[in-house]
A = this chain, B = another copy of it.
Amino acid sequence: MSAAQASGSTPIRAIDVIRKKRDGGELTLAEIESLVNGYTRGEIPDYQVSAWLMATLLKGMTRAETAALTDTMLRSGEVLDFSDLAARKVDKHSTGGVGDKTSLVLAPLAAAGGLIVPMISGRGLGHTGGTLDKLEAIPGFKVGIPVAQFRKILETIGCCMIGQTAEIAPADRKLYALRDVTGTVESPFLICASIMSKKLAEGVDGLVLDVKTGSGAFMKHEEQAELLAELMVETGERMGKRVVALITDMDQPIGHKVGNALEVDEVLEILRGNGPSDLRQLCLELAAWMFQLGGVSDGLAEGRKIAAQLIDSGRGLEKFREMVELQGGDLSVIDHPAKLPRASGSQEILSPAKGYVAAIESETIGIAGVILGGGRERKEDSVDPSVGIVLYKKVGDAVGHGEPLATLYYNSESRAARARPLIEQSYRISEAPPASRRPLVLRVIQGSGGN
């Protein structure tokens, strides 16, 4: 009992909330609201919230606390409402990987299948790429679109891909910036609240979560990914949404291309019915779940078939073209991908031995991409859309001595010199073929809602 408590005053004090979490207690909704709303309004200082964040990271949260935090962050800003639009609103979110360009395929594909996809995405984070950075590799493409225009585009073509607006979940923006500099990013509870508060603010009915695990993911271990997936599914269901989470493999980059313009090029390959099989398979799987949650298909097999047909018929690519047009992008790159920004220099990386690709350290590949200029080493850095890495060999592939493993595209010799050894290090060549690899989709986590 403190003197202040003994004196009979009862407002919730930040220090008491911090202490309660520090000591392993379960916070009430009122306590969480008091802290988060006080912080968002600028009444509670950074240093108290960072102490609470660290206590939360180390002590964890119950499911009820996680839902309360998500709800508080969601309600800190505008919650979009597209209930006047007849079609189901379904989105997809990935926890971040290397070479993960599925969002650019899925938004138009799902819209072509009759869903509405109000997708609000982020920039590159750490070693992983960002959907907004990829979209901006298309000359003229605008991601900073006001909500009214966002709605208009959704009404017109069914999909629109934008960046977070100032009105949506301002508590998350402020908390995320603080977590980033205080070592408190990695809590599954805080990650869940951050992702779900933003995604539920989009006004969706259903949400497909791609929770990545492996060397290129934030969640290196499958159990961490499963915990996060369970938290997000349960939190979404508590809020009346249909949510499914796929735990997917991120032990090597997805597809062959890493880098903003290179990834747009690979998206166009997929939408033309070509492209790497792992990327195509992941897109079909995620699209099938979007169709399932959105009531477009009955069963996953049917959903996969619909998705494949939308690709083969060219309707997915057509929807992508409509989206690029309405968002101000240069349409000519769609038919002539060679018009996408191109780096001036390139270097091949050759295999030091004959054998098989046993592993690719994906995080290192991601960091090499950042160093080339494809991501940000510091927040204020600008992104070079043209640079990146093309991987010719993936895990399990046979490779001859001196055969090219990858090509590095760059605009700065010094950056190339820093990135090259990382790519070399990331490949592990073995004499024998690697043991059987794990499947692309490791597990599917659904709520009890019977989706």
Contact = CB atoms under 8 A, between A and B. Distances in A.
Nearest to A17: B183
A371 B58 contact: no
Interface in A122-146: 126-127
A8 B53 CA distance: 30
B53 A182 contact: no
B18 A183 contact: yes
Given A47-B47, A47-B50, A51-B50, A182 B18 contact: yes
Interface stretch (A75-83, A273-281, A362-370, A389-397): A362-370
A15 B54 CA distance: 12
Contacts of A54: 18, 22, 50-52, 54-55, 58
A59 B22 CA distance: 11
Interface string A45-81: 1111111111101110000000000000000000000
A166 interface: no
B183 A55 contact: yes
A72 B278 CA distance: 54
Given A45-B46, A46-B47, A367 B182 contact: no
Contact of A371 (B6, B182, B375): B6
A379 B49 CA distance: 21
A422 interface: yes
Contacts of A7: 371, 377, 418
A52 B183 CA distance: 9
Q: Which interface residue of A6, A18, A181, A184 has the most chain B CB atoms within 10 A?
A: A6
Contacts of A182: 15, 18, 47-48, 51
Interface in A2-27: 2-4, 6-8, 15, 18-19, 22
B58 A181 contact: no
A300 B182 CA distance: 50
A1 interface: yes
A389 to B, nearest CB: 14
A2 B371 CA distance: 10
Contact of A53 (B51, B184, B367, B418): B51
Nearest to A9: B377
Nearest to A422: B6
B178 A47 contact: yes
Given A15-B182, A47-B182, A3 B370 contact: yes
Greatest chain B CB density within 10 A among A7, A48, A59, A183 is at A183
A57 B53 CA distance: 14
25 contacts: A2-B126, A3-B377, A6-B367, A6-B371, A6-B422, A7-B371, A7-B418, A8-B418, A15-B181, A15-B183, A18-B183, A19-B183, A22-B58, A45-B46, A47-B49, A50-B51, A51-B51, A51-B182, A51-B184, A54-B54, A54-B55, A54-B58, A55-B58, A58-B58, A58-B59
Report, nearest first, the 7 A-B pairs whose CB atoms are least far apart: A18-B183, A51-B182, A46-B47, A54-B54, A47-B50, A19-B183, A50-B51
